[in-house]
């Protein structure tokens, strides 16, 4: 169960035997439901939406505060034995988001308001979580020869790796996520108002939820900020609506529509999980769609990650699923592609201002003769071009958690292979001299680095990269002298590189290092940056920091304007 430098361990590894899932249920039933959900929510908050360093800090905090002394001794003994046998010192992971979500599902299904034989420590909970680890499919990197597997095994491996790593990607920063999606909906979309296919996204969102979109965003964000900076000892996972809104002139008619999109009751959650039946460790759509549990006027956050996503990519999914006709949905998806393209190009404009002479940046490159767009952006480094395609396609929540290979393959094709075809056309356009009027002549260009920037995170490792590479080769795309293998970068990777690009760090140089090394070529761009330029990964994006501060100030101003006056 190896995932770089961390090892997920289960009950069997620590205590020498694998117990059935029922044993986990028996241990969870020793806690009253609300108490159990509260501690699980605290654990989730300590681990979710964090960098690797923050995750490690949160995990160590849990080990100190949740484990009993004898359990700490058991884990220490296992760690010593493992390190002696393996000769390495990886981080040992007992707790993680997927495990905690599955414990939450079991608690909602089986636990009662009062426990028959209540536990007096968290020992049974820790044991239950370790038992769950034994039943969860490992999400580590496939280290065998992918080509030696049969077709069914390849598909199974593809799904088992893709789904959990896409959903529980640890590289996302909360600041980037919130700021990015605010800009997409409330900055980039309005910026395109002169387009003939323009859609007023905030207005359309308001229509489908029957509430002003800015009011929805502000109240939804306020709920989330209650759970933004947790510590397991003092953080309160419960929010009481009556006392929380007591000092503000915000009425139920304003916040109830928001809760209608964010919260479910226990009975509603149980019913939706029961409809699936059986043990499905990666099915958590009901919580992903509505991450708050509502008990009368009390809210409990079941997943901090999913709560944050509701005011980020959740805006996209909410609008898409509520549009009544396929024509409206297709129109939205097409327009949103231009919105994301605008976001990427604004980022590149900040990195390569018009006063810069060292590198030339060309947005929305079109064929001078036909007027057809050739590619979304070009970075010109003299003898090398970085050709960029921005792809906004996102996996639907039901499609992603279903693990349906047809759905996954189709979306993968929409995002990657369509981009490969467009980038292939861009290379041919340069080679035929179509961009000579821009000073990009075929005799000058010796290297092409095709890059797809995606709004959807992909855990691009050997198991997925080989599938990508084989299909692109079979289609005859991006072949020829000087054309580097296609690379993919999640938008957050580009956001992290923004400051480095502005200070002269060449994207072409980074890509050259990556594609010329067999091992590095198949790494995700984020892991490549983490390994080779950690100073980029650890550096905050100044623009997004400023945007986040502006969003925070906007929320504070709104609530200040709604504050009740003292009489």
Q: Determine the pLDDT at residue 471.
A: 82
Per-residue model confidence as pLDDT tens digits over 117-175: 899 999 999 999 999 999 885 544 444 455 566 666 666 666 666 667 777 765 677 88
For the domain spanning 343-544, the CATH number is 3.40.91
Dihedral sign for Cα 375, 407, 145, 527, please: positive
Q: Which residue has the tokens 């006063």?
A: 355
pLDDT at 51 exceeding the cut of 70: no
310-324, 404-418, 527-541: range with highest mean pLDDT: 310-324
pLDDT at 561 exceeding the cut of 80: yes
The pLDDT confidence band at residue 430, using thresholds 50, 70 and 90, is very high
Per-residue model confidence as pLDDT tens digits over 445-465: 999 999 999 998 887 667 677
pLDDT at 526 exceeding the cut of 90: no
Q: Determine the pLDDT at residue 509.
A: 92
The pLDDT confidence band at residue 88, using thresholds 50, 70 and 90, is low
Q: Determine the pLDDT at residue 268.
A: 95
The chain-wide mean pLDDT, for the chain, equals: 85
pLDDT at 1 exceeding the cut of 60: no
pLDDT at 2 exceeding the cut of 60: no
How many helices (H) and strands (E) would you count in the chain?
29, 12
pLDDT at 67 exceeding the cut of 90: no
Q: Determine the pLDDT at residue 3.
A: 35
**For the residues 176-184, what does the mean pLDDT come to?**
94
3-state secondary structure of 247: coil
Contact 385, 370 (CB under 8 A): no
Contact 510, 451 (CB under 8 A): no
Residue 452 to residue 293: CA distance in whole angstroms: 38
pTM for the predicted model, two decimal places? 0.87
Distances (CA, A) of 474 to 159, 338, 452, 465: 22, 29, 19, 14
Helix 33-47 vs helix 97-110: crossing angle, to nearest 10: 170
Task: CATH 3.40.91 in the chain: give the residue spans.
Answer: 343-544
**For the residues 168-188, what does the mean pLDDT come to?**
86
Residue 494 to residue 102: CA distance in whole angstroms: 33
Q: Determine the pLDDT at residue 463.
A: 65
Q: Determine the pLDDT at residue 139.
A: 43
Nearest Cα residue to 356 out of 458, 515, 501:
501
Per-residue model confidence as pLDDT tens digits over 220-259: 999 988 887 655 555 677 899 989 888 899 999 999 999 9
Residue 437 to residue 434: CA distance in whole angstroms: 8
The pLDDT confidence band at residue 376, using thresholds 50, 70 and 90, is very high
Query: Exposed, middle or buried by CB within 10 Å (0-12, 13-18, 19+), for 301?
Result: buried
Q: Which residue has the tokens 């009544």?
A: 324
Phi and psi at residue 385, in whole multiples of 5°?
Answer: -120, 140
Q: Determine the pLDDT at residue 294.
A: 95
Residue 285 to residue 273: CA distance in whole angstroms: 9
pLDDT at 4 exceeding the cut of 50: no
The pLDDT confidence band at residue 14, using thresholds 50, 70 and 90, is confident
Contact 512, 447 (CB under 8 A): yes
Q: Determine the pLDDT at residue 207.
A: 93
What percentage of residues in the chain have a pLDDT greater than 90?
A: 51
């Amino acid at each position: 169960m190896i995932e770089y430098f961390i090892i997920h361990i289960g009950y069997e590894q620590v205590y020498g035997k694998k117990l059935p899932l029922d044993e986990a249920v028996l241990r969870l039933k020793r806690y009253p439901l609300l108490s159990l959900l509260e501690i699980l929510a605290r654990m989730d908050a300590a681990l979710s939406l964090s960098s690797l360093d923050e995750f490690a800090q949160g995990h160590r905090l849990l080990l100190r505060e949740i484990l009993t002394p004898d359990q700490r001794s058991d884990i220490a003994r296992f760690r010593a034995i493992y390190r002696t046998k393996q000769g390495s010192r990886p981080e040992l992971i007992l707790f993680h988001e997927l495990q905690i979500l599955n414990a939450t599902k079991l608690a909602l299904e089986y636990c009662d308001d009062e426990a028959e034989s209540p536990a007096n420590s968290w020992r049974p909970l820790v044991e239950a979580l370790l038992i769950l680890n034994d039943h969860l499919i490992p999400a580590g990197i496939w280290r065998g020869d992918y080509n030696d597997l049969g077709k069914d095994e390849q598909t199974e491996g593809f799904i088992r790796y893709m789904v959990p790593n896409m959903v529980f990607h640890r590289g996302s920063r909360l600041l980037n996520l919130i700021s990015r999606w605010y800009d997409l909906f409330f900055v980039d979309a309005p910026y395109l108002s002169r387009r003939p296919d323009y859609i007023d996204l905030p207005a359309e969102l308001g229509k489908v939820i029957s509430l002003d979109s800015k009011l929805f965003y502000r109240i939804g964000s306020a709920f989330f900020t209650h759970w933004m900076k947790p510590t397991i000892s003092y953080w309160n996972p419960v929010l009481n609506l009556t006392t929380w809104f007591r000092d503000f002139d915000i009425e139920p008619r304003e916040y109830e529509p928001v809760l209608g999109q964010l919260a479910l009751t226990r009975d509603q959650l149980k019913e939706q999980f029961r409809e699936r039946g059986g043990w499905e460790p990666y099915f958590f759509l009901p919580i992903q769609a509505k991450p708050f549990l509502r008990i009368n006027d009390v809210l409990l956050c079941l997943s901090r990650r999913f709560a944050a996503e509701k005011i980020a990519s959740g805006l996209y999914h909410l609008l898409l699923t509520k549009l009544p006709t396929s024509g409206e949905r297709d129109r939205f998806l097409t327009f949103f592609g231009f919105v994301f393209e605008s976001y990427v190009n604004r980022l590149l404009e900040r990195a390569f201002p018009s006063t810069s002479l060292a590198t030339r940046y060309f947005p929305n490159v079109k064929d001078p003769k036909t007027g057809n767009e050739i590619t979304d952006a070009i970075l010109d480094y003299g003898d090398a071009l970085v050709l960029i395609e921005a792809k906004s396609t996102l996996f639907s929540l039901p499609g992603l958690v279903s693990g349906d290979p047809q759905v996954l393959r189709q979306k993968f094709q929409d995002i990657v292979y369509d981009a490969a075809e467009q980038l292939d056309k861009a290379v041919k356009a340069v080679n035929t001299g179509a961009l000579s009027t821009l000073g990009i002549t075929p005799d000058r260009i010796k290297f092409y680095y095709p890059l797809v920037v995606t709004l959807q995170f992909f855990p691009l490792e050997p198991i997925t990269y080989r599938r990508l590479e084989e299909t692109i080769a079979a289609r005859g795309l991006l072949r020829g002298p000087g054309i580097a293998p296609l690379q993919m970068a999640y938008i957050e990777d580009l956001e992290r590189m923004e400051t480095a690009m502005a200070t002269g760090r060449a994207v072409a140089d980074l890509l050259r290092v990556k594609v010329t090394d067999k091992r590095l070529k198949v790494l995700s761009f984020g892991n490549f940056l983490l390994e080779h330029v950690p100073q980029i990964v650890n550096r905050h994006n100044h623009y997004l920091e400023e945007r986040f501060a502006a969003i925070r100030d906007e929320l504070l101003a709104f609530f200040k304007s709604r504050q009740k006056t003292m009489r």
